[in-house]
A and B are shown apart, each in its own frame.
Chain A
Amino acid sequence: MIMDRTSHTETAALTAEVEGLLDSAEPEGFFRDTRECSAVLLIAGSMKSSPPTPRPKKESR
């Protein structure tokens, strides 16, 4: 018989905590898809390496 200082409410909470630890949900997480990352990198790279948009020359006065 367990006879420590935990009250009935605390024991119930402890039981729930035990069950929660035994069957815990997966932590929130993310992982990057290599193909998606390389596609984004490719688009960003091609945008940077493309020539600047032609603009009309300013007329000299």
Chain B
Amino acid sequence: MADALAEQTGAGAVPLSAVIADAANGVVLALRGEGDPYALSRLLRQGDALASAALRVLGRDALAPYALDHRATPGGADDAAVVREALAAYPPGPDASEVSVWSYRGLVEASHAFLPGGADHWPQAPRAGSAWVTDDPWPRFSHRTSQLAALALPGIATDLAGRLAPRTDDLARGFIRAVRRRDWLQAAGLGRWLARLGQVPPTLGLDNGLVFVRHMSDGDARVALHLAAARQFYGRGG
């Protein structure tokens, strides 16, 4: 599959969403322990703008299999080169959204943790605003949090997780709202955060809810990625 994806991106004939979906599927397989040992540089090749863009959108999730050390070989120089290219090609601009800055920051943090090269080899993690965590009303707060679901992994963005924790009930309300709106990507992202934060209201039925989202999302690769992460890292979602 990785080779097929590399050929597709090389031909430049596929939309970005398809490249993202294929890469997300590769990460899901690795998280489940299926397929060949994970190597990011086999999934998204160096020297291709679409591959770099897909990596920037997936963010920290592109390196998630490396956090499961028995599921992947350690990240190598080729993987580091692919990530460095994406970070250089798509830095958050001066008017970038806070979500974009947080996502970039997460990818830099994960690169430090899982890829070779010292601190000098990676761009500095930018400061990301967090006033929205306390100021946004719960629907908007939930939506924005779901967009940062790639940061819901052990040892990453611990400061953000600490700030989100007091609003766990709002995230639970957001999860229900997203399910009722049939917004499966948002529901999966919020479910993943709830799995990480713990202290979930027992009446929410998070595990059954995540199973329901999986059934209803019709195989959406990004939804599947959030659900696989919730299951592999936090044992939620059956």
Does A42 belong to the interface (CB within 8 Å)? no
B42 at the binding interface (Cβ < 8 Å): no
B10 within 8 A of A: yes
Find the A residue at minimum CB distance from B90: A18
Cross-chain contact A22 with B12 (CB below 8 angstroms): no
Given contacts A29-B181, A29-B182, A31-B177, contact A4 B16 (CB under 8 A): no
Q: Is the CB of B52 within 8 A of A2?
A: yes
Q: A interface, by DSSP: helix, strand, loop or mixed?
A: loop
Given A6-B12, A14-B49, answer yes or no on A22-B183 (Cβ-Cβ < 8 Å).
no
* B111 neighbours in A (Cβ, 8 Å): none
The chain B residue with its CB closest to the CB of A29 is: B181
Bound: A53/B143 CA distance, A: 51
Taking CB as reference atom, which chain A residue is nearest B104?
Answer: A22
Q: A25 — nearest CB in chain B belongs to which residue?
A: B143
Q: Tell me the minimal C-beta distance from A3 to chain B in angstroms.
A: 5
B119 at the interface (CB under 8 A from A): no
Measured in the bound complex, the distance between the Cα atoms of B174 and A35 in whole Å is 19
For the complex, would chain B's binding face be called helix, strand, loop or mixed by DSSP majority?
helix
B20 touches A4 (CB 8 A): no
A27 within 8 A of B: yes
Binds A, one of B95-103, B164-172, B213-221: B95-103
Contacts of B52 in A (CB 8 A): 2
Within 8 A of A (CB), among B78-132: 85, 89-90, 93, 96-97, 99-100, 103
How distant is the Cα of A35 from the Cα of B167 in the complex, in angstroms?
Answer: 26
The reply to whether A22 and B49 form a contact with Cβ atoms under 8 Å apart is no
Residues in A lying within 8 Å of B, measured CB to CB: 1-6, 10-11, 14-15, 17-19, 21-24, 26-27, 29-32
- Residues of B whose CB lies within 8 Å of any CB of A are 10, 12, 16-17, 20, 47-50, 52-53, 56-57, 59, 85, 89-90, 93, 96-97, 99-100, 103, 143, 147, 177, 180-183, 186
